[in-house]
Amino acid sequence: MRTFIAVEIGQDVRGKAAALIQRLAATEAKVKWVEPENLHFTMKFLGEIDPREIPAVCDSLSKSVTGLVSFEIEALGAGAFPTPERPRTLWLGVGEGSEQMVALHGAIENGLAELGFRTEGRRFRPHLTLGRVRNSPLGIRELGDLVQANAGFPAGRTIVDAVVLFSSELDRRGAHYEPLGHAELKG
């Protein structure tokens, strides 16, 4: 079962992120856009796991985040990995609350490492993926310019008070996410 851990977003941020997608989609660049209902902040991609591991992962998540206090984040600014000039992944970043997101990620990583999951070798950069660029040079420069023009795009605020373990099924129409467990920040 393909799984990941994420922070869900409020409707205000979801609507503004969808508006940003519409702005960026005005170019001829070939991009696979994320459906608005699937927008979230990914904290950790676990990949394929045995369904029998789900209770242990959920238990680890609960233990990892239970002492943390809920907090507010500001969804702010379009960006691209690796760079706007060579975009592969288009995203919406985090302004205020970024350090708390990094700390939350660290707590999740440490807990999951005890279960044998690999830790990231690079610093976590909180972001909400908007789309993935397909291999086509058409409109890429214009898309990069639009990303940079929206580097300060304000997408609102949302409360981070839980993390969710999701399963992800892919088909021709895209991804379908199903929540498998929640862990609340109760600190």
Q: Is 40 a catalytic residue?
A: yes
Catalytic residue (choose from 105, 127, 176, 182):
127
d(CA 175, CA 164): 16
Name the token pair of 129. Answer: 């993926």
Rounded Cα distance, 6 and 23, in Å:
25
User: Any catalytic annotation for residue 127?
Assistant: yes
CA–CA distance, 39 with 17 (Å, rounded to integer): 8
For 159, the token pair is 């409360």
d(C-alpha 42, C-alpha 36), whole Å: 15
Among residues 165, 57, 171, which one has the least CA distance to residue 114?
A: 57
Catalytic one of 40, 105, 176, 182: 40
CA angle 31, 32, 35 (to 5 degrees): 130
Report the catalytic residues.
40, 127
